[in-house]
Chain A
Amino acid sequence: MIRNNLKIFLLTPVITSLSIQPFATAQSQETLFIGAIPDQNPEKLNRLYNLLSNELNKQLKVPVKYVKVTNYPAAVTAFRTGSLDLVWFGGLTGVQARLQKPGSKVIAQRNIDKKFRSVFIANTRSRLQPIKNQAGLKALKGKRFTFGSESSTSGRLMPQFYLQQSGVLIKDFAGKRAGFSGSHDATLALVQSGSYEVGALNEQVWKVNILRKRVNESRVKVIWRTPPYADYHWLAQPNLDKRFGKGFTSSLQKALLSFNKQSKSQEKILELFGAEKFIPADVKQYKAIEKIGRQLGKIK
């Protein structure tokens, strides 16, 4: 009896591994996998990207699937390993991804991304006054300061860059360090609560929260807007033409650029993206981000 059971016990994994084979080879149809860095709440991202998948599927006639990615470096890695074909990256993550996957193509950005900004917000109890020029950032020395996610362009990289430019280093903050709240919303919440006196976040997120009345303006206010810089963009794999047919990359680009408010579904997509429209993006505008990324050690 025991002997028999032992046989079953030894055989099961063998049977298991055999039965996996046919399943593993079942996938053959080329699918366009799209993804995005997780800078918003997942429910919204789900809605947004399912709409987008349908729209692209309609226009490009290939199956499109949205893959949920859950942290910034994971999105970069997924792009490098070819798990994702088209990704909505931030400035820094886009540069990281392009450097790790030479030949990938920047194909579009939103109208607002050419001149994107971060805002520095302060809790009113910190008694910080609005800062007139960049040199005024020195006033933040000794304050409790938080960034958003550690790989965020608008929540970390650019704010840290401007701080550094005006002579404020991380070790100048209270406790000799800055916090990393993990997201723009969390930065807002933590500064509003007073746990951190100052924080930096994406201006778009700030505006959306004002509109949704989630900001208590007697508690937290903007003290400085950064100068504009280029941020989010669509990045596509270099091999799309090979896989989906000649000219696929450019038709993909055309499709994105053609989105307008005449079509109901496209309007919804643009609205969820917080954009008027998509515009062509130029690789050159991210040179500055790359330089800053290297300077701050976020790009090797």
Chain B
Amino acid sequence: MRKIQFSPPLLTLLPGLTLLPVLFIFLKGIHNGGLSIFSSFIEASFHPALDAIVLGSSWRGLRVTIATALVSWSISTFIGLILGIFSSSIFWKTFNAPSWAASITRRILAIPRSIHEILWGLLLLQGFGLSPWVAVVAIVIPYSSLVARVLSNQLDALDHRALIAINQIGAKPFPGLITALGPPIIPIIASYSGYRLECALRSATLLGIFGLGGIGTDLQLTFQSLEFNEMWTGLWMLGLVMFSLELVLSWCRKNLYRITKKYQFSFILIPLTLTFTTFCFFWLKESEIGAITNFEWHNLSLPTLVEIESAFKELPLLTLIGSTLILTFLSAGIAIGIPPLGLMLFPSRLEVNIQSIIWGILRLIPPPLSSLLLLLFSNPSFVVAAIALGLHNIGIMGRLLKEGIDNQTDRKWHAMKATGAGPSASWLYGYMSSQSPSYLAYASYRTDVLLRETAVVGLIGGTGLGWQLIESLSSFNWAEVTVLIILYSSITLVGESISDYLSQFWMSYTTKKSTASHSFF
């Protein structure tokens, strides 16, 4: 028997193997007791409540969510761009500063993003009370740091010969930097920030589910009281916004080159965005009728070292870390493995379109809701949480994979068809193979995201660091909160470096430059 080789396309399918244990446990606990509730859930999707109170309340919620997303997105992009420049090696090099300056800046900037925006939101809520700005700041903190990471990576990966040439002729460092690196980086920034806007909308919704206002709040409360007709009103409205945003952004990505070729245009875009943000800023103020809009710090009684030490000893830390990691790996396996498996087994145009629609719905339903829904069918286990988290991310991975495939040539696929290979094998060899390195690069990035996201479903499974953190927060036990936050963020920091390493490995796997929409994750 020969040694098994792990070729890239094979590696995209392998995570699908996690399905075996997951489905085994899930199906073992499955029952039909939740059928009537589930059917009323499905039925309600065709009959969303349309009376004025529900419509009005959903619209108000949606306004808050959209405004929160837009304001936090533009602020975080702005801050992220500045921080990104400051944390790039090329910036420090231009000023003849030692190279460790950049790496220290990077390391410090990794801390804000090591904590999921939900946790930031819940923490800030404790300090600042109810305010629509809590959600905004909760998103801005990790997002700025994420944008900074991507920008600095991209800046350093650019071809620096033009910059060297410009500096040789005696240009001042900063104008030199902008002139040489501005034009190539702008399409990348534009494409990436578009992607961040989608994320911001999802995050703003999720923050609502955790009690920070907006449409998410309505979704959560109506769902929990099983008022499905009311819930679908909100969900469809959110879906409409989400899908139109996705359509607009994917159009922009496709025509990005043409748009950004007009260098001037990019500069008009920035004040335009800022003006728009200002508008949203007031819109958000306006939307939270009755809410208290000031944003000030209210003192918390900070825990003493002794308390922290005893919390450290009392919490079952190893179990918590273990369950967090298991949850991450299972959900990542599902999220990464299913889109290629599904497309491989059902590659016809019609089947692909059906899968796209399913992915859209999966992206729309936030994981805390889907986990409760799954729980109606299966006995509780951490697997339910993993599936819920995995399903949501299938929606994201699937769309990305399809976008990548749509942007590549179909020549190899034709070549495979012409050898007489069947549709599945042709798809696997002709499409997936070329797509696999960038898909794997994105998958390792996504696993890193999932590690943070386990916080949002821990509640249902009653497992993981995220769940324990929410429990400690609701007990106002600051010593435990401190220990858990430090622990959680150290794990995600380690996770991030591993994922960075893998991601870079796969990016450099093919010598060809991969399509713009993928290169920055």
Is chain B in direct contact with chain A in the complex (CB below 8 A)?
yes
Q: Is B185 an interface residue (CB 8 A)?
A: no
Complex Cα spacing A151 to B476, Å: 11
Q: Given known contacts A5-B264, A12-B274, A83-B129, what 20 new A-B pairs fall within 8 Å (CB)?
A: A5-B268, A8-B271, A9-B274, A12-B275, A46-B53, A68-B217, A73-B122, A74-B212, A80-B129, A84-B130, A144-B380, A150-B471, A182-B220, A190-B34, A194-B33, A195-B33, A195-B375, A195-B379, A300-B475, A300-B479
Contact with A along B279-291 (1 / 0, CB 8 A): 0011001000011
Complex Cα spacing A73 to B487, Å: 22
CB distance from B270 to the nearest CB of A (A): 5
A33 x B378 contact (CB < 8 A): no
Identify which of A34-42, A110-118, A161-169, A261-269 touches chain B.
A34-42
Q: Is A177 an interface residue (CB 8 A)?
A: yes
CB distance from B205 to the nearest CB of A (A): 13
Q: Which residue of A lies closest to B375 (CB)?
A: A195
Q: Is B433 an interface residue (CB 8 A)?
A: no
B221 partner residues in chain A, CB cutoff 8 A: 38, 41-42, 45, 70
A41 x B230 contact (CB < 8 A): yes
Complex Cα spacing A84 to B275, Å: 33
Q: Which residue of B lies closest to A46 (CB)?
A: B57
Q: Is B11 an interface residue (CB 8 A)?
A: no
B474 x A73 contact (CB < 8 A): yes
Number of interface residues of B (CB under 8 A): 72
A43 x B227 contact (CB < 8 A): yes
Q: Is B105 an interface residue (CB 8 A)?
A: no
Complex Cα spacing A41 to B233, Å: 14
Q: Is A178 an interface residue (CB 8 A)?
A: yes
A175 x B381 contact (CB < 8 A): yes
Residue from the list A33, A192, A193 in contact with B290, Cβ < 8 A: A33
Q: Is A237 an interface residue (CB 8 A)?
A: no
Say whether, besides A23-B285, A179-B462, A43 and B278 are in contact (CB < 8 Å).
no
Complex Cα spacing A192 to B225, Å: 14
Q: Is B171 an interface residue (CB 8 A)?
A: no
Which residues of B from 451 to 506 have beta carbons under 8 Å from A?
A: 459-460, 462-463, 470-471, 473-479
Q: Which residue of B lies closest to A84 (CB)?
A: B130
CB distance from B428 to the nearest CB of A (A): 38
A103 partner residues in chain B, CB cutoff 8 A: none
Complex Cα spacing A78 to B294, Å: 12
Complex Cα spacing A186 to B374, Å: 12
Number of interface residues of A (CB under 8 A): 73
A180 x B462 contact (CB < 8 A): yes
Q: Which residue of A lies closest to B467 (CB)?
A: A180
A183 x B224 contact (CB < 8 A): yes
Q: Is A13 an interface residue (CB 8 A)?
A: yes
A193 x B31 contact (CB < 8 A): yes
Q: List 5 A-B contacts (CB under 8 A).
A: A70-B220, A123-B33, A179-B462, A192-B37, A195-B377
Which residues of B from 191 to 243 have beta carbons under 8 Å from A?
A: 208, 210-213, 217-218, 220-222, 224-227, 230
Complex Cα spacing A16 to B277, Å: 9
Residue from the list B53, B130, B375 in contact with A78, Cβ < 8 A: B130
Complex Cα spacing A27 to B293, Å: 10
Q: Is A58 an interface residue (CB 8 A)?
A: no
Q: Which residue of A lies closest to B266 (CB)?
A: A5
B213 partner residues in chain A, CB cutoff 8 A: 68, 70
Q: Is A29 an interface residue (CB 8 A)?
A: no
B462 partner residues in chain A, CB cutoff 8 A: 177-180
CB distance from B84 to the nearest CB of A (A): 16
A297 partner residues in chain B, CB cutoff 8 A: 475, 477
Q: Which residue of B lies closest to A41 (CB)?
A: B225
Say whether, besides A43-B54, A67-B292, A150-B474, A183 and B225 are in contact (CB < 8 Å).
yes
